[in-house]
Amino acid sequence: MMKTFREAATGITNRYISDWVESGKKVVGYTCSFMPPEIFHAADILPYRIRGIETESMEIGDAYYGPFVCTFPKCLLQLAGEGKFNFLSGAVVSTGCDAMRRLDECWRKAGEDFKGTLPEFFHYFDVPHKTDPHALKWFEDEITGLISSAESHFNVTITEQKLKKAIKTYNQGRKLLWKLEGLRASKNLVISGEDAFSVAVAGTVMPRESFNEELEKLLKTLSNKNKNPVNSKRRIMVAGSINDDIELVKLIEDAGSTVVSDSICFGIRSETDQVNTKENPVTAMAKRYLSNSICPRMFGAYKQRFDFLKEKAERAGVEGIILQNIRFCDLHGSENGLFEKDFEKMGVPCLRLEREYGPLTETGRMKMRIEAFFERLS
């Protein structure tokens, strides 16, 4: 049952993407969870969350970015320069952070130097850093502009009816993921954190209808599974920097824990927020995606993010929190320090874990620190 999700979660491409491209359909990659994938789904274009796994060197990434930058966007640029994303018909780069913003200009320059590595459709999608009325109007304009650009380039028409249908499909996927989150956080262990994370990652690279169908099957199987009432492993939450590599979750669980909750981009972070199907689709998407301030890129919402983590931790009954961040990630690195202080004050043990993304991952060092943290819990 997990084979489909694991295959999609552990490779740059998967059989769904291959079948999609072979049938003559388009795939558009995007870099940030603030970009509504419903837009491309409504045009019968597969939205694909761009990932940096399978990076084996950093020659290209270092040449354009330099050494003192988060390795996630550098891995994306490395793979783009190597032609690993040549199956994409387009790409949308957003301002997740300044390093991700620079991916737009670095990829454009790399496209000049490595012919054929820049998709013909290449769009910069800006995202405000606040949620006030002015920012919401700005974000609506960004969404409208992206729709117009996609319609013009791909010669498609994205109607209000098509958008509402796509929104309904994605809302269903969110409901199913939240059911999975509930099962993962239950006292009786029915699924590992590694498997749950694999499902979440797969949802960003599979056609949504196929994902929903496979997830419904998995949930039915898990609901009928013989539950193990004795879970002697430590219940851990993982939060912080972006991660799409299930090996990080596996490393934490192999050290003697179960990851029962997470707050990671690519994970099951917040799937309770549905897009309102009764409003104008553009307005509804703008409200849903922008009002979700669980990323530290959003200004002035620390208390909201802390309360969000606190609620998830209490609901899952976690014994400790691993606050990981990619080296040179100022946003998560700084906020993890605040989380650590406030959670420790509440009596919730925390481990701050700095790491590299991709080929520079220091597995041995991280394993030692995680095991030491678990000793502290016991």
pLDDT value of position 360: 58
The backbone region for 300, taken as left when phi is positive above 0, alpha when psi lies in -120 to 50, beta otherwise, is left
Give tens-digit pLDDT for 14-54. 999 999 999 999 999 999 999 999 999 999 999 999 999 99
pLDDT value of position 291: 83
Task: Write the CA distances from 81 to 63, 107, 242, 360, integer angstroms.
Answer: 11, 8, 21, 18
Residue 241 forms part of a structural domain: no
Burial of 302 (0-12, 13-18, 19+ CB in 10 A): middle
pLDDT value of position 271: 64
Q: Average pLDDT over the chain, rounded to whole?
A: 94
Residue 99 forms part of a structural domain: yes
- Rounded distance, CA 73 to CA 338, Å? 25
- Quote the tokens at residue 26: 């388009």
Give tens-digit pLDDT for 117-126. 999 999 999 9
Residue at 77: amino acid letter: L
Of 264, 265, 358, 364, residue with least CA distance to 65? 358
Of 231, 164, 160, residue with least CA distance to 192? 231
Q: Are 41 and 169 in contact (CB under 8 A)?
A: yes
Give tens-digit pLDDT for 329-338. 999 999 999 9
- Rounded distance, CA 324 to CA 76, Å? 20
Give tens-digit pLDDT for 109-165. 999 998 889 999 999 999 999 999 999 999 999 999 999 999 999 999 999 999 999
Which CATH number characterizes residue 150's domain? 3.40.50.11890
pLDDT value of position 208: 97
Residue 264 forms part of a structural domain: no
Residue whose token pair is 């492993």: 233
Residue 71 forms part of a structural domain: yes
Task: Write the CA distances from 113 to 73, 81, 236, integer angstroms.
Answer: 18, 9, 45
pLDDT value of position 229: 54
Using DSSP, state whether 260 is helix, strand or coil.
strand
Residue 28 forms part of a structural domain: yes
Mean of pLDDT values over 88-116: 94
Residue 93 forms part of a structural domain: yes
Which residues form the domain of 143? 14-158
Residue 142 forms part of a structural domain: yes
Of 263, 259, 265, residue with least CA distance to 50? 265
Of 91, 88, 60, residue with least CA distance to 74? 60
Query: Which range among 27-31, 100-104, 356-360, 367-371 shows the weakest confidence by mean pLDDT?
Result: 356-360
Residue 27 forms part of a structural domain: yes
Query: Is the predicted pLDDT of residue 94 greater than 90, yes or no?
Result: yes
Give tens-digit pLDDT for 178-234. 999 999 998 888 999 999 999 999 999 999 999 999 999 999 999 887 665 546 689
pLDDT value of position 162: 98
CA atoms within 13 A on the CB side of 173: 25
Count of structural domains, the chain: 1
Of all residues in the chain, what percent carry a pLDDT higher than 90?
88
What kind and span of H or E run contains 164?
Answer: helix 160-185
